[in-house]
Amino acid sequence: MYDYDLFVIGGGSGGVRCARVAAGHGARVAIAEARHWGGTCVNIGCVPKKLLVQAAEYGAFARDSRGFGWSATEPMHDWAALIASKDAEIARLNTLYVKLLEGSGVTLFNAHASFLDPHTLLVGEQRITAARIVIAVGGQPTRLAIEGAELGVVSDDAFYLPSLPPRVVIIGGGYIAVEFAGIFRGLGAQVDLVFRQELPLRGFDDDIRIALAEALADQGIRVHAGVSPVRVEAALDGGRHVALSDGRTLKADLVFFATGRAPLTTALALERAGIATQPDGAVTVTPDHATTQPNVFAIGDCANKLNLTPVAIAEGHRLADQLFSSDIKRDWSFSPVPTAVFCVPQVATCGLTEAQAAARGPADIYVARFTPMRHVLSGRHRKTLMKLVVDQASQRVTGAHMIGDDAAEMMQMVGVAMVAGATKQDFDRTIGIHPTSAEEWVTLRTRTRVAGG
């Protein structure tokens, strides 16, 4: 009756996983991608961003080495060489995604897909029907609606700059903003970071936000908190002028808008299929990812639930099992979800903030702040902060937060313990690995304060 049992719109991480698993269950599956296989994360998101972060840190490592007896000269960076290496790795990953899909028996379309009705798509110039359709188109970066916004770039553009701009003004205080602030500053640019909140990373634990603000300043990033840009103008020298709400003007060679993302749904013609959306463009879905059309589903950032690549992958895998397998019942924990911000230094978190925990009842708070061993000799002003939030009644660890070296690597395993329901006593009776920063998770014996209640 239909050309395919399942058609997936979007070749990002979530869509690819859904397509492959469904094909593995015996379904006839096709997938369309109009831009690049692997989606945002692989091409213009997590993967290239972390490569740039690592590049930015090498210069600081070289300077750190002097404290350990190395006679390192002042490092010089080649932006073009970095971008070429990054592009080669992304090209390799693109090819890998295509091979994985083809090896699974999925039919690929390098074309844009939009709806004609709930079961029919226009894929390029072809009309294709499918019993079930999954929308997995992700999101896109947004600019502020201010005069001259078109003179700035967004994160999609930043990965393809021909050279390192000497002066960068980054607008925004979220994870993309602080990550790119560390990248550009670490590679030698002057960086101004502008955001309207008093602290960066709105929604994160306040102790982490305060520590990050200090760390940004320690790197020489010029932080402008509590102000907003009102206008961007082209300068006579080819640069940019950014007028702020407090009357000041910042000069830049590059203005970077890191002011949020929006679901990439406007070109799907969802109205033709009777698929409802939220005011921000996100597809309206049930807990089982179904849209207002029972045969159409949406996963990942375009549904705007928890916008993380591993979450989209888990949603895609679970949905494929749900639709095409009667005996395989995998599940994932979507609360708590460990996550990280690859700023400098890294931020990682899992579970409730102190404020969220306090709103539910009394919580025991444990905080440690120290200089990690490496920086005792490097001389770099780099502090680590680690924090546990513990429900006082049950003694379950309901929140873990960290800023410091290797925070993301540690938080993955802390997340395992939290998903398993570990208590503070379980942490306490675990032997630490010495000497590491990680052992602090199991040696936080003295309660710092009680929150809530």
Active-site residue set: 434
Q: What is d(CA 444, CA 68) in angstroms, rounded to the nearest whole number? A: 29
Angle at 394 between CA 388 and CA 398, to 5 degrees: 30
Q: Which residue has the tokens 């950014």?
A: 242
Beta bridge pairs of residue 129: 120
How would DSSP label each residue in 218-261? HTT-EEEET--EEEEEE-TTS-EEEEETTS-EEEESEEEE---E
Residue 8: closest CA among 102, 98, 121, 96: 121
Beta strands in 284-355 (DSSP E): 296-298, 339-341, 347-351
Contact 411, 338 (CB under 8 A): yes
Q: How many CA atoms lie within 13 A of 315 on its CB side?
A: 31
Q: What is d(CA 174, CA 193) in angstroms, rounded to the nearest whole number? A: 11
Contact 24, 323 (CB under 8 A): no
